[in-house]
Chain A
Amino acid sequence: MRIRGSLWIATAALIAAAGARADGAAPPGRTIAYVVTNLSWALESTPEMTECPHGLNDGVREQFKLLFPESAGNKRTLVDTQLRRQVESYQPTTAPDTLPFLEGEGPVAPGVDLDDVAGPEDFTSPDGARGIDNQMHRVLGCIANYRAPDGPIRFFEDEMVLRENYNRIIVQLVGVDSLADDPDVDVMFFRGRDKVLVDAGGLKALPGGTQRIDTRWGGRYIRRTRGRIDKGVLTTEPVDLLYPWDAFYMPTDQYMWGARLQLKLTPEGAEGLIAGYTDVETWYMHMLRNWSAHYQSYGRSSGPSIYKAMRRLADGIPDPVTGANRAISSALAAKFTEVRVLPFSGAEVAAIAEAKPGVPYRGMPAPRPAAEELAETRGSPPRTTNGSVPGNP
């Protein structure tokens, strides 16, 4: 098709205008907002599985067979087998795992240097940055459920971000002089109330949709921080962040201590990492509530083994009483699409001012003592499917 001269000129002008915005012009009203459309734990997942030299972990089903093998003349009871494993899942302890656990290995893993230290446990990012703090990769990196590109839990959790209004996380930047460079922008997190504008296929988010702020149900998600834009990359100051992330219609949240954004911005969207220290008890309760043993079996994960590994590898936010770390370094791979947030009403402004940030879940008030689990598992010698493996003390 031939494009007539005047249309050429108009088209070229539009392209130039868009380019100018991306290259440095201020967004309209010096404000731009993005809605999260994709979210998954940032892990190194190579096709060759170089980060998992011993293979992938066993899940609930495989562990059950290892722990409670069928044998002639030995009638298994539900209490001693199924219920015992369910108790270990619902009432997890830090007792050492009697089963092998395969950690994700280095040297490469995505993430951010959260502590400005390049320690021996740190990784190197795929683009060469050193000192990357992402112990979550060690926990989830060799579990099929969470690996890219199509681990079942990874897939569903990512898909639900777009599908469910509950997960409508919005980041709004105010006082933006340029999307390319601005040393100081105001960054606000809140939840939207509306579906995301998508294309005819229903799976691709489109920029330009509208969103209303959710101050009625979502007050606990409202947070503010500051950030800077350098060469089109937004980097924010750390802020403790409760964020909604349900999987299958269960109102569950995650909590990240010291969360910071590292996002490449364009007028149409943003992409990058949300990094910080993920609260372990909140993460585990989120997993239990969304993913029963059946779903864990889809991609061979095991609640008790994950909990023990996560507590063992937790590297941040020491509990003031026990000294044990409550959180684990982590990063989320995130994609955003630009949205237009409707102007806040007076009532909404007041609600924002009064909003109290949500808090992390603190774990079972009366936890099961590790010694009780140890006593129960004594006499059940570790069995392996993968030979002798590292990663489990």
Chain B
Amino acid sequence: MTSPVRGKRLAACLALTAVPLAVSAAPSALTEPYIPETMPPGFRVEASELDGPVFADAQGRTLYRWPFRTMRNGVTGDGKGESNCADTASTESAGLMSPYPGGLVLPEVEKRPSCQAMWPPAFAKDGDKAVGKWSVVTRRDGRRQWAYDGSVLYTSVRDRRPGDVLAGDSYRHEGDAPAMRDPIQPKPDVPPGFGVTTTLRGRLLHTARGFSVYAFDRDTRARSACDSACEQVFVPMQAPATANAHGDWSIFTRASGERQWMFRGRPLYRHEGDDRVHSLEGSDVPGWRNVYTQETAPPPAEFTVQDTPSGQVLADKRGRTIYSYTCGDDAPDQLSCERPDDTQVYRLGMCGGGSAERCERNFPYVEAVREAGGSGRLWSVVEIDPTTGHFAAKDQPGALRVWAYRERPVYTFAGDQQPGEVNADGLGDFQAEREGFRAFWWRDDFFRE
């Protein structure tokens, strides 16, 4: 089936090849509306740039849970009302993944932290009592720990400021990923029939079935410029007769008498041509754009976007695809091994056979220009000792200033010869869901959001 707007869309698509990113200093100030809940005294909701509203303790530290997760050869994580995050460091692999056995001595075992050292439990004080979905659980060591909806809660030593979700991994939950920790969140304030999903660009608004929602630039408050022919392609999001306006949500009546939802004064539509969830294809039509409850800060201005056979990737200024490195070790506590302050043994093995010099030649860091600085919380410039892969000491000679996403350095792959090549995407264990390099997908029309 072809769309009536096919010709225009194609022209727009062709013009999009290898576009530089727009320069923007900061993310939009708008944050996602949420449904307030009763919380323990002092607890609060903080706005995070990536995941939207998150619950935080009285000090503003984001609260995480560690959901029970079935791995290839067993389970790990917390069951309801119990904590499996130990205060002693794991020393051997658990064999939770396949095909390698457990019982292997973990790398740099003498320096390995305990689960609790990385994920301090959110302890409750004497006298703290259950309220709403919040409860207090007595741990095996006799101490009391907060739980939400039955899941015990932690903070992270990685987070430093209220609204940080530097340790969270909700964006990357995929089939064979490690058992990760999620920030806990209040429900987004969207009417029935809508939902919100975290994406690299922001919190994407969609229908309850996951199909993207769009707005039209030519619409004004309570007036739709989408005529009857247009409606065949962009279908108005109907509001039921019983629906009421509230918060950022309102309703207007179209000329046909149909009631249509508006978000922040913009009429909403779905795109008839979308055949996959979280699609961005409707925004190829001039004047139409996806709707986000909040947007992330743009990537560094010196980055570009390149077309690939599967969609668009972030790339450096030469057009080379940018990759992130993912790693969770196969220990019972499933700690991260992907940050510069974690062990570098896995990464150096993967990209250089153990040689930092070869690693840097195969997967060079994306160096930042002298004056560069991050915008928002997600992109930053960090200093790296290239001989070890760890963060550099202050004023360390030979240190590289490199771009990082959520404090993890990003890389290019010297094996990509042309812009738009993604030759190292998925290189690693379980398509790099477990460990390895993944391209920074800005848009994927075939496999992922």
A250–B425 contact, CB under 8 A?
Answer: yes
With a CB–CB cut-off of 8 A, which chain A residues contact B93?
Answer: 78, 82
A347–B427 contact, CB under 8 A?
Answer: no
With a CB–CB cut-off of 8 A, which chain A residues contact B107?
Answer: 77-79, 83
Number of A-B contacts defined by CB within 8 Å:
155
Interface stretch (choices B156-164, B247-255, B351-359, B383-391): B351-359
User: Would you call A76 an interface residue if the criterion is a C-beta within 8 Å of the partner chain's C-beta atoms?
Assistant: yes
Known: A248-B431, A368-B358. A83 touches B345 (CB 8 A): yes
Bound Cα distance A165, B355 (Å): 39
Q: Residue B430 contacts which of A61, A78, A292, A364 (CB distance < 8 angstroms)?
A: A292
B415–A365 contact, CB under 8 A?
Answer: yes
A366–B361 contact, CB under 8 A?
Answer: yes
Interface digits, A280-307 against B, CB 8 Å rule (1 contact, 0 not)?
Answer: 0000010011101110110000000000
With a CB–CB cut-off of 8 A, which chain A residues contact B425?
Answer: 250-251, 289
Known: A250-B447, A294-B72. A218 touches B105 (CB 8 A): no
A217–B445 contact, CB under 8 A?
Answer: yes
Bound Cα distance A75, B103 (Å): 8
A290–B105 contact, CB under 8 A?
Answer: no
A220–B6 contact, CB under 8 A?
Answer: no
Bound Cα distance A183, B361 (Å): 51
Bound Cα distance A217, B99 (Å): 36
B428–A64 contact, CB under 8 A?
Answer: no
A347–B7 contact, CB under 8 A?
Answer: yes
- CB-CB nearest in chain B for A85: B100
User: Would you call B264 an interface residue if the criterion is a C-beta within 8 Å of the partner chain's C-beta atoms?
Assistant: no
Interface stretch (choices A23-31, A38-46, A86-94): A86-94
A90–B427 contact, CB under 8 A?
Answer: yes
User: Would you call B302 an interface residue if the criterion is a C-beta within 8 Å of the partner chain's C-beta atoms?
Assistant: no
B13–A361 contact, CB under 8 A?
Answer: no
User: Would you call B362 an interface residue if the criterion is a C-beta within 8 Å of the partner chain's C-beta atoms?
Assistant: yes
Known: A82-B104, A87-B354, A285-B427. A217 touches B307 (CB 8 A): yes
With a CB–CB cut-off of 8 A, which chain A residues contact B11?
Answer: 347
Known: A76-B104, A363-B415. A297 touches B99 (CB 8 A): yes
Interface stretch (choices B212-220, B227-235, B396-404, B416-424): B416-424
B105–A77 contact, CB under 8 A?
Answer: yes
- CB-CB nearest in chain B for A217: B309
Interface centre among A61, A78, A87, A363 (most CB of B within 10 A): A78
With a CB–CB cut-off of 8 A, which chain B residues contact A364?
Answer: 362, 415
Q: Residue B105 contacts which of A64, A78, A166, A358 (CB distance < 8 angstroms)?
A: A78
User: Would you call B5 an interface residue if the criterion is a C-beta within 8 Å of the partner chain's C-beta atoms?
Assistant: no
Q: Residue B106 contacts which of A78, A246, A249, A361 (CB distance < 8 angstroms)?
A: A78
B415 to chain A, nearest CB (A): 6
Bound Cα distance A87, B344 (Å): 14
Bound Cα distance A81, B99 (Å): 12
A289–B97 contact, CB under 8 A?
Answer: no
A340 to chain B, nearest CB (A): 12
Bound Cα distance A11, B103 (Å): 70
- CB-CB nearest in chain B for A285: B423
Interface digits, A56-75 against B, CB 8 Å rule (1 contact, 0 not)?
Answer: 00001100100000000001
User: Would you call B311 an interface residue if the criterion is a C-beta within 8 Å of the partner chain's C-beta atoms?
Assistant: yes
B352 to chain A, nearest CB (A): 7
Bound Cα distance A288, B358 (Å): 19
With a CB–CB cut-off of 8 A, which chain B residues contact A296?
Answer: 99
With a CB–CB cut-off of 8 A, which chain B residues contact A368?
Answer: 352-353, 355, 358
Q: Residue A220 contacts which of B98, B309, B423, B427 (CB distance < 8 angstroms)?
A: B309
B272 to chain A, nearest CB (A): 15
A270 to chain B, nearest CB (A): 24
A90–B350 contact, CB under 8 A?
Answer: yes
- CB-CB nearest in chain B for A251: B310
User: Would you call A330 an interface residue if the criterion is a C-beta within 8 Å of the partner chain's C-beta atoms?
Assistant: no
Q: Residue B415 contacts which of A164, A294, A361, A372 (CB distance < 8 angstroms)?
A: A361
With a CB–CB cut-off of 8 A, which chain A residues contact B2?
Answer: 212, 342
With a CB–CB cut-off of 8 A, which chain A residues contact B14?
Answer: 215-216, 347, 351
With a CB–CB cut-off of 8 A, which chain B residues contact A359?
Answer: 417-418
With a CB–CB cut-off of 8 A, which chain B residues contact A101?
Answer: none
With a CB–CB cut-off of 8 A, which chain A residues contact B417?
Answer: 359, 362
With a CB–CB cut-off of 8 A, which chain B residues contact A104?
Answer: none
With a CB–CB cut-off of 8 A, which chain B residues contact A221?
Answer: 309
A348 to chain B, nearest CB (A): 7
Q: Residue A217 contacts which of B97, B308, B358, B414 (CB distance < 8 angstroms)?
A: B308
User: Would you call A182 an interface residue if the criterion is a C-beta within 8 Å of the partner chain's C-beta atoms?
Assistant: no
Bound Cα distance A287, B429 (Å): 12
User: Would you call B173 an interface residue if the criterion is a C-beta within 8 Å of the partner chain's C-beta atoms?
Assistant: no
With a CB–CB cut-off of 8 A, which chain B residues contact A76?
Answer: 103-105
B97–A244 contact, CB under 8 A?
Answer: no
- CB-CB nearest in chain B for A194: B1
Bound Cα distance A113, B110 (Å): 59
User: Would you call B409 an interface residue if the criterion is a C-beta within 8 Å of the partner chain's C-beta atoms?
Assistant: no
Interface digits, B144-177 against A, CB 8 Å rule (1 contact, 0 not)?
Answer: 0000000000000000000000000000000010
With a CB–CB cut-off of 8 A, which chain A residues contact B97?
Answer: 294
Q: Residue B307 contacts which of A75, A191, A216, A252 (CB distance < 8 angstroms)?
A: A216
A64–B100 contact, CB under 8 A?
Answer: yes
User: Would you call B129 an interface residue if the criterion is a C-beta within 8 Å of the partner chain's C-beta atoms?
Assistant: no
User: Would you call A253 an interface residue if the criterion is a C-beta within 8 Å of the partner chain's C-beta atoms?
Assistant: yes
B361 to chain A, nearest CB (A): 4
Bound Cα distance A87, B349 (Å): 6
B309–A251 contact, CB under 8 A?
Answer: yes
User: Would you call A388 an interface residue if the criterion is a C-beta within 8 Å of the partner chain's C-beta atoms?
Assistant: no
User: Would you call B133 an interface residue if the criterion is a C-beta within 8 Å of the partner chain's C-beta atoms?
Assistant: no
Bound Cα distance A164, B445 (Å): 11
User: Would you call B187 an interface residue if the criterion is a C-beta within 8 Å of the partner chain's C-beta atoms?
Assistant: no
Bound Cα distance A344, B358 (Å): 47
Interface digits, A354-393 against B, CB 8 Å rule (1 contact, 0 not)?
Answer: 0000110111111010001000000000000000000000
User: Would you call A345 an interface residue if the criterion is a C-beta within 8 Å of the partner chain's C-beta atoms?
Assistant: yes
B3 to chain A, nearest CB (A): 10
With a CB–CB cut-off of 8 A, which chain A residues contact B423?
Answer: 285, 361
Known: A86-B350, A362-B415, A365-B361. A79 touches B345 (CB 8 A): yes
With a CB–CB cut-off of 8 A, which chain B residues contact A248?
Answer: 431
Bound Cα distance A90, B6 (Å): 42
A288–B427 contact, CB under 8 A?
Answer: yes
Bound Cα distance A90, B431 (Å): 12
B430–A294 contact, CB under 8 A?
Answer: yes
B171 to chain A, nearest CB (A): 16
- CB-CB nearest in chain A for B310: A251
- List B104-126 residues whose CB lies under 8 Å from chain A: 104-107
- CB-CB nearest in chain B for A369: B353
Known: A78-B105, A86-B350, A347-B14. A366 touches B7 (CB 8 A): no
Q: Residue B6 contacts which of A75, A292, A345 (CB distance < 8 angstroms)?
A: A345
- CB-CB nearest in chain A for B418: A359
With a CB–CB cut-off of 8 A, which chain A residues contact B311?
Answer: 217
Interface digits, A318-351 against B, CB 8 Å rule (1 contact, 0 not)?
Answer: 0000000000000000000000001001011001
Question: When A and B form their complex, which 3 residue pairs have the shortest distance between CB atoms, in order from nearest?
Answer: A251-B310, A366-B361, A365-B414
A–B pairs, 12, beta carbons within 8 Å: A76-B104, A78-B107, A81-B100, A82-B100, A165-B446, A166-B309, A212-B2, A246-B446, A246-B447, A250-B426, A285-B423, A368-B355
* Residues in chain A within 8 A of chain B (CB atoms): 60-61, 64, 75-79, 81-83, 86-87, 90-91, 164-166, 191, 210, 212, 215-218, 220-221, 244, 246, 248-253, 285, 288-290, 292-294, 296-297, 342, 345, 347-348, 351, 358-359, 361-366, 368, 372
